[in-house]
Structure 1
């Protein structure tokens, strides 16, 4: 069984962004929406996943999460848009 590691971005019900790491994306989103995820998302449900990337290792995914969190909101949104554009070009 392949072990995947995800960096993901959620949009909360107040339109703020939350970035995180998980090795089981669907379960983690369900946990956030059940109010049992991160303290930040607990009061901002429902959340929806607006972006994710898959990595071979936990370290790679967590590095991406950290780098993303250093960006300003506008830079985060531009990053997500640019990656979505790359996917639609293929």
Structure 2
């Protein structure tokens, strides 16, 4: 059985990160407003990124880590921009001059929709997928 971590873009421009064992069903639940909470008042939602994991623990761990990320880092993950993910993983004072925004302000970007079930992820070691373990890439 596969488990998924996913990022949704809500109608108000905010991101929601969650995990599930049935991605298509869970997205449909969010879209219909059946899940009370964050997304139900921000419809419609759009799946922007997803990745499958072998265990629920791995998916939950990835969800918890991504929820702590800045908007810019999440958008870099969604775009598959691994250089930017690595850049935004560093504390702001430790970042070199950014090629990503002229004033180091995390600027919004235009993001193309990602089809359901397609993973657009990469860990910092160059392997596809989020890195396992407790680190914050």
Shorter-normalised TM range: 0.7 to 0.9
Structure with bigger gyration radius: 2
**1:36 to 1:51, Cα distance in 2 relative to 1, 3 A:** same
More helix by share: 1
Moved over 3 A (4+): 83-86
Count of matched residue pairs: 84
Q: Which has the higher contact order (CA 8 A, sep 6+)?
A: 1
Q: Is the 8 A contact 2:77 2:121 kept in 1?
A: no
**1:59 to 1:50, Cα distance in 2 relative to 1, 3 A:** same
Unmatched tracts of structure 1, length 5 or more: none
1:38 offset after TM fit, Å? Answer: 4.4
**1:85 to 1:30, Cα distance in 2 relative to 1, 3 A:** closer
**1:26 to 1:67, Cα distance in 2 relative to 1, 3 A:** same
**RMSD between superposed Cα atoms in Å:** 1.6
Take 2:60 and 2:54, find their aligned partners in 1: how far apart are those partners? 11
| Partner-residue secondary structure (3-state), 1:45 | coil
| Partner-residue secondary structure (3-state), 1:39 | coil
1:82 offset after TM fit, Å? Answer: 2.1
Deviates more, 1:36-45 or 1:17-26: 36-45
More strand by share: 1
If the length of structure 1 is used for normalisation, what is the TM-score?
Answer: 0.86
Unmatched tracts of structure 2, length 5 or more: 82-119, 123-137
**1:19 to 1:85, Cα distance in 2 relative to 1, 3 A:** closer
Report the equivalent of 1:48.
46
